[in-house]
Amino acid sequence: MRVLVVSQYFWPEMFRVNEIVSELRARGHEVTVLTGRPNYPGGTVFDDYAADPAAFAKYHGAEVIRLPLRPRGKGSLRLLLNYWSFVFWGCLLGPWKLRGRAFDAIFCFETSPITSALPAVLLRRVKRAPLLLWVLDLWPDTLSAVGMVKSERGLNAVGALVRFIYQRCDLILAQSKGFFPAIERWSRAPEKTRYFPQWGEAAFDGDLDAVDVAPEVAAHDGHFKLMFAGNLGDAQDFPALLEAAEATRHRPDLHWLLVGDGRQAEWLHAEIERRGLQSTVFMLGRHPLERMPAFFKGADALLVSLRAEPIFAMTIPGKVSAYLSAGRPILAMLDGEGARVITEAGAGLVAPAGHGAALAQQALAMAALPAEARDAMGQRARAYARQEFDRVRLISQLEQWLHTLRA
């Protein structure tokens, strides 16, 4: 089967679309990827790629075709230009770079922005191939939740764009069942929606006992380590998280470790200093996915948070499935689907979204638990991940959908 993958983000950026491509290749499919220059999350083109772009033209045997994407940079204007540069070059150069090639199906990986699906919609028409869209972020809901678009007219305009895209997809995959009503409101075709959750990446398949603790984390030995790993963005509600850290500053044995990078990183650096939290909250920087097991092993609990917004209550954060797969206890500050999964798994303690004081209390409760109780949480977490978020089973389901649409 010949599959075209359209994604604004791709290796060496760390997204699950990478594993979809490698798994489809391992199953004997011919895969071509149309993507941009890697620059997420830091906002500048990766140094290794800039030095030798040819080294990134193949991924597990899949051909990777890069568009001249404008990097994200800093600030809302540059982010907007980044979004639209993928649309512009994808629609202008995409059909040209793919000329003469036939595909049995097109798979579009759609995390923000929804505009990244527009080149896939055009290619669906040009190549006369069915289109599957994997929705990991709901627009216009997310834009409203983070305050990027505030006017009703602006949100309605984005909604019209979402309707245009959804109605030109042959199948729409939702990362959470909570997404179904919002997707179907715009697609007006509930029969096209399927549940396709995120899984824990292959990096977490192994036994953490066989991994050495990352030295960045080992430096905090002797303390109870609460670790957030992932994007440092607006949606993660770091003001509330810092509120929790302030409420536990009387416990010098409690360390909050932030692993990752993103648009809130500079603000976090400044706020930690302003609030005098330098001995409580520590920013450990961004590191490759392959090193995350070494970071996770050293954590006493893994932290996930989302803002108190209806859209985020519908979401199962990708890091939840990663944390579950790693088999570590989870400390959460979120509502809805994400909270349900953690509670149902018996994998940790949950505070309501936006409640820093409640998160602080749960952090203290987690620290007070016997090590055996936390180990049991981790064991239940991994068992739940294998039951609900098994990567091989999910990609087999995707493969089946691709075959069905091809027919």
What is the arithmetic mean of pLDDT over 215-221?
A: 96
Looking at the structure, tell me whether residues 212 and 322 fall in a common domain: yes
Q: Is the pLDDT of residue 156 over 90?
A: no
SS3 of residue 191 by DSSP = helix
Residues 43 and 156 in one domain: yes
Q: Both 366 and 226 in a single domain?
A: yes
- Overall average pLDDT of the 333-350 stretch: 96
Structural domain of residue 142, as residue ranges? Answer: 2-199+390-406
pLDDT band at 189 (very low <50, low <70, confident <90, very high): very high
- Are 336 and 266 part of one and the same domain? yes
Residues with Cβ < 8 Å from 95, sequence gap 6 or more? 122, 123, 126
235 and 383 assigned to the same domain: yes
Q: Are residues 109 and 215 in the same domain?
A: no
The predicted-structure confidence for 381-401, as pLDDT tens digits, reads as follows: 999 999 999 999 999 999 999
* pLDDT computed for residue 203 by the predictor: 85
In three-state secondary structure terms, 348 is: strand
204 vs 380: CA distance, rounded Å: 15
Question: What CATH number should be reported for the domain holding residue 120?
Answer: 3.40.50.2000
| Same domain (yes/no): 142, 264 | no
pLDDT beyond 90 at 151:
no
| CA atoms of 229 and 299, how far apart (whole Å) | 11
Main-chain phi, psi angles of 333, to 5 degrees: -130, 85
For 53, other C-beta atoms within 10 Å of its C-beta total: 14
One domain for residues 222 and 151: no
* Number of domains, the chain: 2
Q: Which of 304, 276, 281 is nearest to 362 (CA)?
A: 304
Query: What's residue 33's pLDDT?
Result: 98
Same domain, 40 and 105: yes
pLDDT for 368-386, tens place per residue?
Answer: 999 999 999 999 999 999 9
**What's the pTM?**
0.86
- Tell me: do 31 and 166 sit in the same domain: yes
Interval 29-66: pLDDT, tens? 999 999 999 999 888 999 999 999 999 999 999 999 99
Sign of the Cα pseudo-torsion (211, 216, 217, 223, in order): positive
Select from 260, 278, 265, 275 the least CA-distant residue to 356. Answer: 275
Do 157 and 58 share a structural domain? yes
Q: Are residues 24 and 135 in the same domain?
A: yes
pLDDT band of residue 146 (cuts 50, 70, 90) is: low
Alpha-carbon distance of 102 to 89, in angstroms, equals: 20
| Whole-number average pLDDT of the chain | 94
Phi, psi of 63 (to 5 degrees): -75, 135
Cβ burial, residue 26 (10 Å; 0-12/13-18/19+): exposed
Say what percent of the chain tops pLDDT 70: 99
What is the arrangement of strands in the sheet containing 224-229, beginning at the earlier edge strand? 281-285, 254-259, 224-229, 301-305, 330-333, 348-351
| In the block, residue with structure tokens 């764009």 | 161
Q: For residues 349 and 210, which has the higher predicted lDDT (pLDDT)?
A: 349
Q: Note the pLDDT tens digit of each residue in 225-262.
A: 999 999 998 889 999 999 999 999 999 999 999 999 98
State mean pLDDT over 123-152.
86
